Structure 1
Amino acid sequence: MTAAIPVDRKLNVVFTFTAVLLFMVDMGNPVYYWGIIGGLFLSFLFSLAAFLLQHLSLDGMFAATVAGTLIFGLGGWPMAAIILLFFISSAVISTPQDQDRLSGEASGNVRRSGIQVWANGLWMVLCLVMAAAFDNSIFLLGGVAAVAVATADTWATELRSTKGGTTYLISTFEPVSPGADGGISLKGTAWASAGSMMIAGTSTYFFSLSLGSFFIIFIAGFLGCVLDSYLGAIFQRHNRPMVVPFVRKEIRFNNNLVNAVSTGAGALLAIIFRIAII
């Protein structure tokens, strides 16, 4: 029986093809043309360094290289700086125990896998591709908001309260142990706000965005983090599957799927907020 191909490897193939296609289409456009070449070179060097420093697995290195190529190629230095700010801040504040819990493994492996890279970066890459394809900056706002969600969630998780009696289940507000799926605390919520605000402020500066865009990114990032906790409380905590209507297929939420859904929701919220304001 043939083993199923991991989702992250499938995404690597899809977005590698996308990068090649954009490279061929935009050969006359020096911005994207040289951006994709530079993105491939620089993202590979950074991913290799992260692999050697044991922050990324081998699959994680390949995923980060593919994602980084498109992020730098389509978003330039400003977008690359934003994603690096997320990754470096996450690496600095993360502990091996927290990373084991985040990956759902108990093997002691502190490296981020390919699926973890895509769980946090998929929607940013998709939004950048959409922004390039339709020449509409509203998708850029969505991509940045997705990073704000990932940053808020990571900061809240890593810097949460560790004292007993300070963490509550977001769905019922009953006391739970620190680090429990769906648990929130005042300290964790404050750090989530700080993480989202950092990405919003950095993006506003790099892209010369308006004050309204700053608040859109900040609010969408924070709400996406709240959704992450809620999904954890409803699905992860009790290992409860979600049944897809019509096809009656069960989907079980692990941490990576929750991250992917919440970052996507943050991106969508930012786009909706921008449309509503305009």
Structure 2
Amino acid sequence: MASTVRRAVGFAFVGSFALLVPVFVGWGELQTIVGTIPVGSVLDPAQATTILVSVPFLAVTALSLITTRGRLFDLFAFPADHEEGRLYGLASFCFVTAGLTMFALQFDLSLPAFVASVFLLVYGNLAEKVAHQFTKDPFVLTTIFAGTAFCMAVTGQVLTSSILGTPLSLSLAVFLGASGSLLAALLRSMLFDRDDPIVLLAVAFALWLFADLPLSLNGIHVVGALCLTLVFGYLSYALETASVTGMLSGVLLALLTVVLGDYGWFAVLISFFVVGGLATKFRYETKRHRGLAQENEGARGSGNVLANSAVALIAVIGAAAHTTFGVSESVFLFAFTGAIAAAMSDTLSSEIGGLFGPPRLITTMRPVQPGTNGGVTWQGVVAGIGGAAVVAMIAVIFFDLTALGAGIVVLAGVVGMTVDSLLGATVEGPLLDNMAVNFLATLSAAIAAVGMSLVTGVVVL
């Protein structure tokens, strides 16, 4: 058995200790012990329970730091651990898990979500390491990781609820399992194995956020959303419009958009991916010759996808929690459509406008070389406006926007496109990279869309 597989088995075994948390929490004897703590002690019963439940992971953390050689060391050691002479990888994983345990108990957060986060990571990793002995295909390995992680996340939630004797929504379990496994797969594709504690932190807090949202989930809706987004992800990868990480980012965003929003929100989002992907591939060789083509044969990576969609995702989550904020859902809808319109406008203006020239710098209107940040052409501007109009048209179909509402979406897209060019001409390179510029452009468009909708009375808080 390869050392990587043995290490994955060891981490899966330690990760299984997460089930001890609901066991201890539901253990009557523990409550009896805690109940003997006198009033006025240094620790109150809640704090004592938190520490006692975290003991298994804290004990493994301590053991990891004092183990410097032997079979146990060889089992859990990463290559860097051999150089440093300590099991820092295992220690950091267990320390983070103990911290998450304390956090969950202190703030009364979902224990099924906590166990799901640990299970999906350690067992998904194990399945991937085993598969790696037979194939090196990144798509296959990612699929195996995500599929196993999903199954184990759902299993962990079911077991936790059974141990605690609490009801479990299977729809919520499937949604948390799917979103958690996709997020973990995405993060692990960008990080190293030793960074799994970071992945665990991100997944746990994301699942706690989703579990706490006031959602009314329907099983058919969740399963349908999952199937739809998986088909979309596979097609984007097969057609080479997205890399593996770009595919994961797109599938995760699409799943959250369908479940937290609805199919109308998904239609708006997918318009950007489809039209933007086709525009990137359009006359690709000509753009390559001019030095304007996207890298990796036009297949967009996770950074590009997230930079253009992060604001829209925040808007979707805000819409799902709008009753908590006491804000109209329409406010978040305009933020969402405005951000997507900006992403569409910027993509089309760059991909179509780059075929014409010479471009002119937006701040001076002087001719510049193709590919210069902040360079624009009138053809690109027209294409950008057309892209925003496509988003507005889809929003009209699914959300019955008025002509004024549609005009706001188009104008917000133009605002975002213009901000992108202005930032490109002034601060991109020395201060900001392209992904930061894209994020700020979509953010400005979202703010503009919300502001205009409120001023014109299309939306009321």
Shift of 1:70: 0.8
- 1:80-95 matches, cutoff 5 A: 80-95=266-281
Contact 1:217 1:270 in 2 (8 A): yes
2:220 aligned with 1:41: no
Q: In structure 2, what is the Cα distance between the partners aligned to 1:26 and 1:112?
A: 33
Shift of 1:16: 8.3
Q: In structure 2, what is the Cα distance between the partners aligned to 1:175 and 1:146?
A: 29
| Correspondence for 1:209 | 401
Structure 1: which amino acid aligns with 2:243?
A: S
Say if 1:83 and 1:12 are closer, same or farther in 2 by CA, change over 3 A. Answer: farther
| Correspondence for 1:256 | 435
| Correspondence for 1:110 | 298
Structure 2: which amino acid aligns with 1:74?
A: L
Q: In structure 1, what is the Cα distance between the partners aligned to 2:250 and 2:201?
A: 13
Shift of 1:227: 0.5
Q: In structure 1, what is the Cα distance between the partners aligned to 2:261 and 2:379?
A: 33
Contact 1:35 1:76 in 2 (8 A): no
Q: In structure 2, what is the Cα distance between the partners aligned to 1:264 and 1:200?
A: 17
| Correspondence for 1:246 | none
Say if 1:273 and 1:102 are closer, same or farther in 2 by CA, change over 3 A. Answer: farther
| Correspondence for 1:122 | 310
Cα deviation 1:100-147 (Å, max 9, x = unaligned) = 8465x4xx4432111111111111111011011014221111101111
Shift of 1:72: 0.8
Structure 2: which amino acid aligns with 1:256?
A: M
| Correspondence for 1:220 | 412
Give 3-state SS (helix, strand or coil) of 1:94's partner. helix
Q: In structure 1, what is the Cα distance between the partners aligned to 2:357 and 2:214?
A: 56
Structure 1: which amino acid aligns with 2:350?
A: T
Q: In structure 1, what is the Cα distance between the partners aligned to 2:311 and 2:244?
A: 22
Say if 1:224 and 1:7 are closer, same or farther in 2 by CA, change over 3 A. Answer: farther
Between Structure 1 and Structure 2, which shows a larger proportion of helix residues?
2
Give 3-state SS (helix, strand or coil) of 2:400's partner. coil
- Percent identity reads 25
Structure 2: which amino acid aligns with 1:117?
A: V
Shift of 1:52: 2.4
Q: In structure 1, what is the Cα distance between the partners aligned to 2:421 and 2:199?
A: 26
| Correspondence for 1:179 | 371
Structure 1: which amino acid aligns with 2:273?
A: F
Q: In structure 1, what is the Cα distance between the partners aligned to 2:366 and 2:203?
A: 43
| Correspondence for 2:132 | none
Q: In structure 1, what is the Cα distance between the partners aligned to 2:229 and 2:201?
A: 16
Cα deviation 1:209-244 (Å, max 9, x = unaligned) = 1222111111111111011011111123xx222xxx
Say if 1:120 and 1:86 are closer, same or farther in 2 by CA, change over 3 A. Answer: same
Say if 1:261 and 1:150 are closer, same or farther in 2 by CA, change over 3 A. Answer: same
Normalising by structure 1, report the TM-score: 0.81
Structure 2: which amino acid aligns with 1:39?
A: A
Give 3-state SS (helix, strand or coil) of 1:112's partner. coil
Structure 1: which amino acid aligns with 2:420?
A: D
Q: In structure 2, what is the Cα distance between the partners aligned to 1:271 and 1:220?
A: 9
Shift of 1:179: 3.2
Structure 2: which amino acid aligns with 1:169?
A: L
Shift of 1:276: 1.7
Say if 1:66 and 1:25 are closer, same or farther in 2 by CA, change over 3 A. Answer: same
Shift of 1:71: 0.8
Give 3-state SS (helix, strand or coil) of 2:409's partner. helix
Structure 2 residue corresponding to 1:141, chosen from 334, 337, 358? 334
Cα deviation 1:168-202 (Å, max 9, x = unaligned) = 10011111123321011111111111111111122
Give 3-state SS (helix, strand or coil) of 2:353's partner. coil
Contact 1:23 1:36 in 2 (8 A): no
Say if 1:272 and 1:81 are closer, same or farther in 2 by CA, change over 3 A. Answer: same
Shift of 1:261: 0.9
| Aligned alpha-carbon RMSD (Å) | 3.0
Between 40-49 and 129-138, report the one with greater CA deviation.
40-49
Structure 2: which amino acid aligns with 1:271?
A: V
2:252 aligned with 1:73: no
Say if 1:156 and 1:150 are closer, same or farther in 2 by CA, change over 3 A. Answer: same
Q: Pick 1 or 2: higher relative contact order, CA cutoff 8 A, min separation 6.
A: 1
Shift of 1:68: 0.9
Aligned residues: 257
Cα deviation 1:26-64 (Å, max 9, x = unaligned) = 56x245x65444323321221122112222111112211
Q: In structure 2, what is the Cα distance between the partners aligned to 1:149 and 1:257?
A: 14
Structure 2: which amino acid aligns with 1:212?
A: L
Larger Rg: 2
Say if 1:184 and 1:124 are closer, same or farther in 2 by CA, change over 3 A. Answer: same
| Correspondence for 1:240 | 430
Structure 2 residue corresponding to 1:157, chosen from 339, 345, 350? 350
Shift of 1:8: 7.3
Shift of 1:11: 9.7
Give 3-state SS (helix, strand or coil) of 1:219's partner. helix
Structure 2: which amino acid aligns with 1:262?
A: A
